[in-house]
Structure 1
Amino acid sequence: MKILQLISISLLTMFILMKLNVININLKYHILHYLLNASLLLTFFSIIFPLVSYIKLKRMNVNKTQFLNDILREIDPNQNVEIFITDKFMKNNAAVLYRRNQPVIVCGDGLVNSLSREQLKFLIAHEYYHIKKNHMLKNILSFIFVLAGVPILLLTISPYLISLTSLFTTLIISFILYVSSFTLHFVFSQRRELSADRFASSFVGKECAKETLSILQEQKLVPEKSYSLFETHPSIKKRIENIS
């Protein structure tokens, strides 16, 4: 995270100086605009988000428990991830947050009290896999690419497309490409969730994994939407089918 913070600040500084004409590099105005937006988003996610996450952890009054640490050690004895329990804000949920630029797992006490040890192991393994595979960073970079990278690409190729076809056709192609890239962002985000489920089920078995997801659905411990194409998480039904 520290390397990403250094990169984001350096890029943001450079693009601001270019915007103010302090640094003169021959870039089109619109491309510079999107590059500046990308660096702003990267700075927000690499610096502001961990800071807000740290403040949120403070307000949650989180505590360590040997019980959850033991479960995490069973999943990976060599990991150095911290895990906490809280009775505030996210009582019925589990998530990855940041503490001093390091990802940590936080479990709500309502969730801990609602599930068995093996069911908790499934959820903890799921969150640990996100940390292990840097899924949060991948989602952030993917989102920034859709918001800034794709428009830059379209601005670059649009003059060539117009020369080959027409303005109307170019607009249609650009629209399709942008919507497709936006859709792919959510598709890959959901795939990461499904891969985390498969990883977690390898520790507890498929039946326990499906049972855990069913409990989350029945007790409404996770938000569930009937249409999940533009959601970062797939539906519980799809997650259960993925494990089967």
Structure 2
Amino acid sequence: MKILIVDDELLAREELKYLLSKDKRLEIVGDVGSLDDALEIINKREVDLIFLDIQINNENGVEFAEQIKEKEMGVIFATAYDQYAVQAFSLNAIDYLLKPFSEERVLQSIDKAFKKINKKEKPSPFRKLTFWNEEKMVVVAPEEILYLTVEDRKVMIYTTKGILTDNGPLQSTIEKLDPNLFIRTHRSFVVNIEKIEEIIPWFNNTYILKIVGLKNVEIPVSRGYIQEFKKRIGLM
């Protein structure tokens, strides 16, 4: 895997290079301190994965990631700023690393990157799902699902096509979903990670989630699921 490191701090680039050198599957094709230099390398070299800071010489790394989205390379944000995590995942970032880096987290991010690349190369078993809408079944793609919850002992699937239902317990429905795309936040809620728009701190170190396009919906992240949630979105 060919990697580009973009950070205006030399020490941060050197630290990442050192940690990444421990994985022999990786080739660092460049480390640069500006977005202009990054774009030059991207246009000239093959790049599979970019480690990208958020604030680079008064420029915004998230906006840069949006600009290069058509290049179809993986992006891992590596930054001291935790407030951009939701925006980063809306761009389908592979991971969100907070400084100071640890070897464990960096290598964990690389494993995520390889899994995502392998997933692109292999047909996904989760491409289409069928759920009930009253007396008919509706076919939906995973990315059309916003969240799931349990109401009156029935699994309710909220999608861009409307509200669908599934028979059986919530866990049975969860097993049909792509584990890389969905996360359980509460015993009665499952959320599409890419549809999270806001993360609001709540009581007892928990969170409330706001979903894209659903102004009046609040999804709880309960204490029993908080650690896994924070790991998945890069907050720890």
Scaled by the length of structure 2, the TM-score of the pair is 0.33
Which structure is higher in helix share? 1
Greater length-normalized contact order (CA 8 Å, ≥ 6 residues apart): 1
Which structure is higher in strand share? 2
Scaled by the length of structure 1, the TM-score of the pair is 0.32
